[in-house]
Structure 1
Amino acid sequence: MSLLLLVLFFLTLLMGAPIAVSMGLSSAVVILLNDLPVSVLAQRSINALDSTPLLAVPLFILAANILNASGVTEHIFELIRLFVGRIRGGIAQVTVLVSLVFSGISGAALADIGALGNMQIRMMRAQGYKDEFAAGITMAAATIGPIFPPSIPIIIFAAAAQVSAVKLLLAGIIPALIITVMLVGQIAIMARIYQLPRDTTTPSLKVIVRKFIISLPALFAPVLLIGGLVSGLFGPTEVAGVTVIYAVLIGKLFYRKLTWKGLVSSARETVEATASVLFIFSTAALFAWVLTIDRVPVAVSEFLLGVSDNPVVLLLIVNGLLLVAGMVLESIAAILIIAPIVTPALAHAGVDPIQLGIVFVLNLMIGLLTPPVGMSLYMVSIIAGIPLPKVIRGVLPFLVSLLLSLLLVTLVPSLSTWLPNYMMK
């Protein structure tokens, strides 16, 4: 049954069908051929969406769209540029630091690229950076978004693996900071080697203070979000709703750039993005159910534990599996298919599901930067008008920092587990 399911799945993918259609269609065919109840198709698909934590997904997407429509991203970019733009390779450093700040609002790599990518690449081009470098650092920096809270992939993993979404969101803070430090350090080294340009701005203290005051409401959004989670006042869903209200208030009352037309446009974009995510979620749940009744998770658990019962060895094996899966599967689909299969085995070997969630998501975010399915590659190519081969060449050097960060998070469990355990005890 599982073999037929996988063959049909990859055949429909090769024929060009969207991944959600491939999962749903292959599952439906297998269910019909094995005389399983047809009602399972609707039951499993709809029940998968009956999840309170999933409500956070459209709300976080909406908050990011509203803040983007309010011009928040430009204020954050200009503020950080005033602080670090004058050093060699300054605009590249700004790109990384802005992604860290904006990740506390958006929660998705493609959202970061969509909101910031064109502006960042345009600015680097104007100052003499090569297209390959500009595209590469823009994509690498966007991987911070899905690790730092709020993270849509982390919320999806929490729902799929049935672990605490709040703990998982808090667990992403230190790994996100590690990625940031790694990328900032790599840019500093490359700036010396390749004599990267300096920024042309000469800000005064008055200009910096003024821009900081203007940016303060935008900078407070991540503080509100993380503070709500840590204090226990809000769960992921509640804090997402509060963030939406906050985004509307500062966009309308403080920045005064949020119009009714902009709000409607943000809602429309949210519906389109959410429909895509939840369609994948529902069909992946059906796909995973077929694998489950064929005892694939049990077989995989027995195989992995037969190879080794060492948590580090198992994590390294899963890393290799996920890096390959990230090259051919969309990240949310990969989480929903693979997480329920490998989580029991690794938990049995002593791997903390919180650490596993961060390792899972970071692997798949690196997958966004690798062909043939890496969506970040295609998105940057489209928005910046850079040929895809150049985009791929540009991101290769930055994979070093990302893979080193992944290795650290894999080998040192406390980087993921210490903060949520400390905050939530």
Structure 2
Amino acid sequence: MLAFFLPLFLLFLMIGLPVFFGLLAAPGLLLWLNDQQRDLALLYRNVYNGMDSFPLMAIPFFMLAGVLMNRGGITTRLVEFSQAMMGHFRGGLAHVNILSSMLFAGLSGSAVADTSALGSMLIPAMEKNGYSRKFSAAITAASSVIGPIIPPSGIMIIYSYVMGESVAALFLAGIIPGILVGVGLMMMTWFMAQRYDFPAATARASWGARGQASLKAFFPLMTPVIILGGILGGIFTPTEASAVAAFYALMVSLFILKSMTTRDLPKVLMEAAMTSSVVLLLVGAAMAFKTVVSLSHAPEILAAWILSLSENPLILLFLINLLLFVVGMFP
């Protein structure tokens, strides 16, 4: 069965079908053709079992926190803070884009939320400031990958659930790499700004203006401090931290900044539910797919084949990354 459903799964990806559809349709179709209806029912039951997890409850809460902050105008305050700090550099808006992504990553932990929140605001501003649409979109997409690295990260929550690792340890390990990615993007932007003569976004802000921007962004910037401080201090679990983050974002938007009303809540909840459902459905489909793969002894077959190529761990790591690079070409 392995020789059939893996190529079928890759075919579904290459023709542009959703990933969760390929994860379910490929093994499901083969089970149905082989008249294995009992295993087919087990496959789709595993979709629910894969999503029925307490740690995974953190994902919709973190998504909700990100949507609340975006709707509450908190994203705008982060951009204004970034612009006050880095807008005077050559290529200033590109640096603002990257720094805003780093800050927003500490609120939502999602590349999709980062792109949708910042892209709609910064891409038109960058075009108006003389940047090409291609560069504006590219720097927004590239900086959005910081979202799943800097905690709270939805990908890290899923990884900890599947592999049995500590969420707190993963969150702590993601801080430095996320900052390094952001600094690396800023260095690349600086070199490109010198070569292509990118403009500065604004004049150098005074210390008073920077202080005012910092005060406006104080409550949003406290979100990752509360999340990481609570988790690492043993005050609450990562799942409880996600609920605290959502509650904190709601209180800040409704009562402190007063940038959102209760009439906005249905739209906020709907948007968060739609985004969360995509992630959770993908996790459930992946768990079901993993069950079929295990029943077909695919891990043993693939391990034997890979070890037959080389036993050098560096070469094996290179081959795995090469495979992931090719698979990642298909959105």
- Shorter-chain TM-score: which interval? over 0.9
Correspondence 1:24 to 2:24: yes
1:34–1:296 CA distance, 2 compared to 1 (3 A): farther
Of 159, 167, 171, which aligns to 2:161?
159
Partners of 1:251 and 1:258 within 8 A in 2: yes
Of 179, 182, 185, which aligns to 1:183?
185
- Aligned partner of 2:53 in structure 1 is 51
Measured in 2, the distance between the counterparts of 1:246 and 1:116 equals 21
User: What is the one-letter code of the residue matched to 1:6?
Assistant: L
Correspondence 1:260 to 2:262: yes
Shift of 1:45: 1.7
Measured in 1, the distance between the counterparts of 2:6 and 2:318 equals 24
Deviations 1:15-69 (A, max 9, x none): 6543322322222223331635344134322211121111011011000000111
User: What is the one-letter code of the residue matched to 1:196?
Assistant: F
User: What is the one-letter code of the residue matched to 1:30?
Assistant: L
Supply the RMSD in Å over aligned alpha carbons: 1.8
Measured in 2, the distance between the counterparts of 1:41 and 1:251 equals 42
Measured in 2, the distance between the counterparts of 1:261 and 1:40 equals 42
Deviations 1:201-239 (A, max 9, x none): 453333222221111001111111121222222222111
Counterparts in 2 of 1:306-317, with a 5 A limit?
Answer: 306-317=308-319
Q: 2:146 aligns to what SS in structure 1?
A: coil
Q: 2:39 aligns to what SS in structure 1?
A: coil
Correspondence 1:302 to 2:294: no
Partners of 1:99 and 1:142 within 8 A in 2: yes
1:38–1:196 CA distance, 2 compared to 1 (3 A): closer
1:248–1:200 CA distance, 2 compared to 1 (3 A): same
1:229–1:313 CA distance, 2 compared to 1 (3 A): farther
Measured in 2, the distance between the counterparts of 1:111 and 1:253 equals 23
Shift of 1:4: 2.1
Q: 2:134 aligns to what SS in structure 1?
A: helix
- Aligned partner of 2:196 in structure 1 is 194
Measured in 2, the distance between the counterparts of 1:51 and 1:303 equals 33
1:17–1:183 CA distance, 2 compared to 1 (3 A): closer
Deviations 1:119-154 (A, max 9, x none): 111221121112222111111111111111111122
- Aligned partner of 1:147 in structure 2 is 149
Of 79, 98, 101, which aligns to 1:99?
101
Of 67, 73, 76, which aligns to 2:75?
73
Partners of 1:62 and 1:267 within 8 A in 2: yes
Measured in 1, the distance between the counterparts of 2:100 and 2:23 equals 36
Measured in 2, the distance between the counterparts of 1:175 and 1:311 equals 23
- Aligned partner of 1:213 in structure 2 is 215
**Larger RCO, structures 1/2 (Cα 8 Å, 6+ apart):** 2
- Aligned partner of 1:407 in structure 2 is none
- Aligned partner of 1:3 in structure 2 is 3
Measured in 1, the distance between the counterparts of 2:40 and 2:125 equals 55
Shift of 1:174: 1.4
Partners of 2:47 and 2:288 within 8 A in 1: yes
Partners of 1:109 and 1:146 within 8 A in 2: yes
Q: Which stretch shifts more, 227-236 or 136-145?
A: 227-236
Measured in 2, the distance between the counterparts of 1:78 and 1:203 equals 11
Partners of 2:43 and 2:292 within 8 A in 1: no
- Aligned partner of 1:61 in structure 2 is 63
User: What is the one-letter code of the residue matched to 1:193?
Assistant: R
Partners of 1:53 and 1:159 within 8 A in 2: yes
1:72–1:49 CA distance, 2 compared to 1 (3 A): same
Measured in 2, the distance between the counterparts of 1:14 and 1:316 equals 23
- Aligned partner of 2:39 in structure 1 is 37
Partners of 2:87 and 2:204 within 8 A in 1: no
Partners of 2:148 and 2:155 within 8 A in 1: yes
- Aligned partner of 1:86 in structure 2 is 88
Counterparts in 2 of 1:343-358, with a 5 A limit?
Answer: none
Moved over 6 A (4+): none
TM-score, normalising length: structure 2: 0.93
Partners of 2:106 and 2:147 within 8 A in 1: yes
Measured in 2, the distance between the counterparts of 1:305 and 1:7 equals 21
Measured in 1, the distance between the counterparts of 2:44 and 2:129 equals 54
User: What is the one-letter code of the residue matched to 1:278?
Assistant: L
Measured in 1, the distance between the counterparts of 2:309 and 2:39 equals 36
Measured in 1, the distance between the counterparts of 2:130 and 2:195 equals 15
1:306–1:184 CA distance, 2 compared to 1 (3 A): same
For this pair of structures, how many residues does the alignment match? Answer: 329
Counterparts in 2 of 1:328-343, with a 5 A limit?
Answer: 328=330
1:253–1:108 CA distance, 2 compared to 1 (3 A): same
